[in-house]
Structure 1
């Protein structure tokens, strides 16, 4: 069995630094959640190691991407995960794959990972677009959910919640309880 080269450790360092920046400095900053840290780092590391080791044998980029797809789908078959978390998981898996199988030097890999990170910050932060979020609310004034009273509804929601709601989606109406389930959208 041959020993691991300096190339392996440089790529591993680039991958771990890029993953740390993506998970700890980007994902955590936006969402303040730590429960998926093990998943993000674990999947990234496993994909990196398997892809790097399989890349030492004759393997095409298509086969590596297929392996990446199989591993990324395993997680989603066992538990529900929201779209944002799934996107970050996909990104850290992709970073591990690219870092492991690319023929570029360590500095080129750093730039590629930096492009992924910067693009993520621009798209997920409030830099290029406003981040719209919603709260699900059980609303008790059915008169205000009529289309002609939409402004009254928005003003009532702002008064009651303190949130500057700019639009609502009516999810369901319960005529027996005189309430409606709505999604109140606002910019974070």
Structure 2
């Protein structure tokens, strides 16, 4: 039965819903249980879910036009040039964006040449590798902060530990290194840069 030359229902509906549930399940594991615990970025959680779902339905809808490979490459090209000029995306967030897009493309474009066992294995391996890298192999990210310090007596080399302890007490950070820059004896201030590991 058709309405305005469009079928009201066909067998692909069940296939779409099954793959949607499969895709959403794996996305939830990646976004909610791998990415979010380490980043605490709720804004990106929203973005990843919406982009991945749109990509999934877009790919599944256009799949019937035999544009599988070209469309997949085109999607990666489009999202590969995304730039938020007012709020640049960190490398890690951009990587996860490619991951959720890739998972959605795999789950939506897989055809009869790829069994469900292979689809499940591909998704599981992606999640497994993400967990290993995120929780066990990822190196700590060192960040820096510029501070104008007024107690210039502590900038002497022999008072380095006192300087470091004072800065840790004031900032609440565990400092790895302190670099002393410009010193203004007229104002009794010094420009210092502290280095510390970012807490995930």
* TM-score, length-scaled by structure 1: 0.75
Give 2:195's aligned residue: 184
How does 1:36-75 map onto structure 2 within 5 Å?
A: 36-71=44-79, 73-74=81-82
Check conservation: 1:124, 1:131, Cα contact below 8 A. no
Residue 13 in structure 1 maps to residue 13 in structure 2: no
Give 2:147's aligned residue: 138
Gaps of 5+ in 2: 1-5
Give 2:3's aligned residue: none
Distance 2:87 2:23 in 1: 26
Check conservation: 1:49, 1:100, Cα contact below 8 A. yes
Task: Quote the offset at 1:151 in angstroms.
Answer: 6.2
Task: Quote the offset at 1:86 in angstroms.
Answer: 1.9
How does 1:1-188 map onto structure 2 within 5 Å?
A: 1-2=6-7, 3=10, 4-71=12-79, 73-74=81-82, 76=84, 79-103=87-111, 104-125=114-135, 127-140=136-149, 152=161, 157-158=167-168, 160-161=170-171, 163-167=173-177, 173=182, 178-180=189-191, 182-186=193-197, 188=199
Deviations along 1:106-161, one digit per CA (max 9) or x if unpaired, are 34223212222222222222x12442342524152678789x77964656544554
Aligned residues: CA RMSD: 3.3
Distance 2:71 2:142 in 1: 38
Task: Quote the offset at 1:92 in angstroms.
Answer: 1.0
- Three-state SS of the structure 2 residue aligned to 1:97 is helix
Q: After TM superposition, what 4+ stretches of structure 1 lie above 6 angstroms from structure 2? A: 141-146, 148-151
User: Which structure has the bigger radius of gyration?
Assistant: 2
Check conservation: 1:167, 1:186, Cα contact below 8 A. no
Check conservation: 2:164, 2:175, Cα contact below 8 A. yes
Taking structure 1 as reference, are residues 168 and 69 closer, same or farther at Cα in structure 2, changes over 3 Å only?
Answer: farther
Gaps of 5+ in 1: none
* TM-score, length-scaled by structure 2: 0.72
